[in-house]
Amino acid sequence: MLFGNFIFAAAAILLVIGLMIILVRDSYFIKMIGLAIFQNSMLLFYIAIAKISNGVPPIDQLKPMVYSSPLPHVLMLTAIVVGFATLAVGFALIKRIYRKYTTINASELEL
Amino acid sequence: MLLLSVFSTILIILAFYVLFTKDLVNIVLAVAVFSITICICYLLMDAPDVAMTEAALGACITTIVMFNLLRSMNIDFVSCETKSKDTNCLLPVDFSINKFKYIASALLSLAILIILIYCGIDMHEYGNAETALHNHLSQYYISKTSSDIGIPSYVAAILGSYRGFDTMGETLVVFIAAASVILILNSEDLDINEVSKYNLYDYELKNYDIIHYLVKRMFPLIVVYGLYIQLCGKVSPGGGFQAGAIVASAVAAISYFSTPEKLLRYAFATSALGVLIYICTGVLTTMLGGEFLNYYALTSSAHLAQTIGILAIEIGVGLTVFSAMVLIYFSFS
């Protein structure tokens, strides 16, 4: 039971570590990576609840079978693409900050 | 089950590594390994489509964009480990100076973890088929797809047809993100002369004959593979999002030896063209008497109409994602 649900616990721990990276690290670059880990933990959780044990991937096999749920897969697939796009916008902002202040550390910025 | 636990443990270890390590280059590499590991986890949990997207986008394009960003910020790769505080690559976690901040955020994170675990006690067991998720909407999609849409991949059917309007929004978001990256970094960043001048001649990568040979031979193969993923997304894992990312990674690899100037000049236009193809498909269906993105209006044969509609919007998605990824990659170089 505990061993079987470990993937849910892993998603929770990853979420907390991502939050921790955002709060503790000084560099904006690493803060963005923390945000990415935070997001990935959510994706992992959604894919984990879609799985049925001894199910197969959701592609029609032309005979009655147990399929894992395709709906979270669709939502998370688009979330990965949009997540990358927003990450790229964040990196662009970091590059602008570096160009103006020649640092990307929060403590060294005097705004 | 055991395999999944092992890989999720590796994920946690990698996340801790990112939390504590100092070197930015090592962090980027750790994130790349993180992406590959989470991709294996998706594959073990019956999600080949998601795994393919993560491998193409998370592991490939994100890593090269991060390296491009670090390179543009004058960070010395080779001596990163040895130099001390005056370089940018060493970013110490100030545990000693800012102890209060560290302890407060650790306590906050611990509290959130305890709340999450407490909520998770009620949760159903992993792999249980009796939950609400598997019995209402998912059951509808699985049982109706072969008669409604007539294509084998349930994911492509939901993405293209059942939730086509949703996907249109996602495509628009990708287009808007590429546009905002260009606007945030000034337009001189996309000056083609500057890109070709900067493009890795200082890295002397083009002097390595083996890499040049391999990239030149691999490039057409990767493009053909991307087109296969694009066109066969209805019968197997794949589709526009994955194909766009794969072809964009091929272009990124070839850019180390020659800059695709024409492509860069028209990339923004093709990115908009993809969105336009998507919206025009929807407008066409309304003009033929159906609702927006109701493909049944296209022809009298229901399954053929769905296939044509999904193919059209997947081409639009692929074009937009490909052009947006190329634009983002070259904006950071």
ipTM attached to this prediction: 0.94
Torsion of CA A82, A84, A90, A96, to 10 degrees: -120
Distance from CA of B33 to the nearest CA of A (A): 12
Q: Which residues of A touch B129 (CB under 8 A)?
A: 52-53, 55, 66
The predicted pLDDT at position B93 comes to: 46
- pTM listed for this prediction: 0.89
CA distance B40 to B35: 9
The predicted pLDDT at position B16 comes to: 93
Q: Which residues of A touch B99 (CB under 8 A)?
A: none
**pLDDT grade, residue B206 (50/70/90)?**
low
CB of B184 less than 8 A from some CB of A: yes
Looking at chain B from residue 259 to 318, which residues have their Cβ under 8 Å from any Cβ of chain A?
A: none
Whether the Cβ atoms of residue B174 and residue B320 lie closer than 8 Å to each other: yes
Minimum mean pLDDT among A42-46, B1-5, B105-109: which range? B1-5
**pLDDT grade, residue A27 (50/70/90)?**
confident
Cβ-defined contact of A103 to B88 (cutoff 8 Å):
yes
The predicted pLDDT at position A48 comes to: 92
Report the chain B residue with the minimal C-alpha distance to residue A94: B69
Q: Which residues of B touch A70 (CB under 8 A)?
A: 138, 141-142, 154-155, 158
CB of B188 less than 8 A from some CB of A: no
CA angle B269, B271, B275 (to 5 degrees): 110
Mean pLDDT of B111-137: 87
Whether the Cβ atoms of residue A84 and residue B329 lie closer than 8 Å to each other: no
